[in-house]
Structure 1
């Protein structure tokens, strides 16, 4: 009986270990610039680049072909739950803030 029980237990453990419903630990991932509502409320059209940089911090991306466009992106993937992405684009004209474009997207639950 012991000769059958050991291989059967091993096969059961290996089978259950490969099931897709069992997920291991996924560490939370946060990347980019946190764009808070308080910082957004302080942004005003006509501010200089240095004032915007003081409020928002360094942009995540400055387009090399259009240095008057700054992109701030925030990506949050918690261990369990929905992944969220927030995006903010700032456009400058003559070294002053000309336009603010907010684009928030919510991804599907994983």
Structure 2
């Protein structure tokens, strides 16, 4: 009888721990290079390294002993349910340091294997990036005013290039983007928010659309003050 009581108490204690752990807010953890499909579809055989850098940004993994390949790795762990999304991309250069091959979790453009110096109508080519160029992130203020403004929190990023690309992607899709903090210093983590509303329910449709667009696991959260 006493043993049964101890077992019951143990089960209650475990269930209580699970209940309280579910109440604790856990942040999303994005790591590495965030890259979307549109960026990858701009790649063409024969691009030089400056052009690839302009399209994809600085690689997450840079092997100083092997300059013929760059690895872009992205990992996103959801604070909501603990699920993990992993995506990788490897670009390989030939002896003349021109793009030769791309492998990984992304789909290439149908004209990828046509050399970049051959003109293709309606194909968006990347121009070489200015040397040592650093993208500047410009945030738009929320259009709503007052307390309890809700927004779709897409993720948190320490790489300014990733923030800029995600911001452009969302704005091109018609979403209003807010960054917190607005004036982030180099290396500081920036939270990206898209769309605003006065209630969580009003953002449910946009939550699903943004998740599909960005291939992330966003959440609906209160928009922090600017």
Q: TM-score range by the shorter chain?
A: 0.7 to 0.9
The 5 A counterparts of 1:49-64 are 49-64=49-64
Would you identify which runs of 4 or more consecutive aligned residues in structure 1 move more than 3 Å?
15-18
Q: Which ranges in structure 2 are unaligned for 5 or more consecutive residues?
A: 1-12, 107-226
Deviation at residue 21 of structure 1 after TM alignment? 5.2
Match of 2:17 in 1: 19
Equivalent-residue separation in structure 2 for 1:21 and 1:45 (angstroms): 53
SS of residue matched to 1:62: coil
Q: CA RMSD in A?
A: 2.2
Q: Which ranges in structure 1 are unaligned for 5 or more consecutive residues?
A: 1-14, 105-110
More strand by share: 1
Deviation at residue 17 of structure 1 after TM alignment? 8.5
Give the structure-2-normalised TM-score. 0.37
Q: Deviations over 1:71-90 (max 9, x none)?
A: 01111111124210100000
Higher relative contact order, chain-length normalized (CA < 8 Å, sep 6+):
1
Match of 1:102 in 2: 104
Q: Rg larger in 1 or in 2?
A: 1
Equivalent-residue separation in structure 1 for 2:14 and 2:62 (angstroms): 48
Match of 1:66 in 2: 66
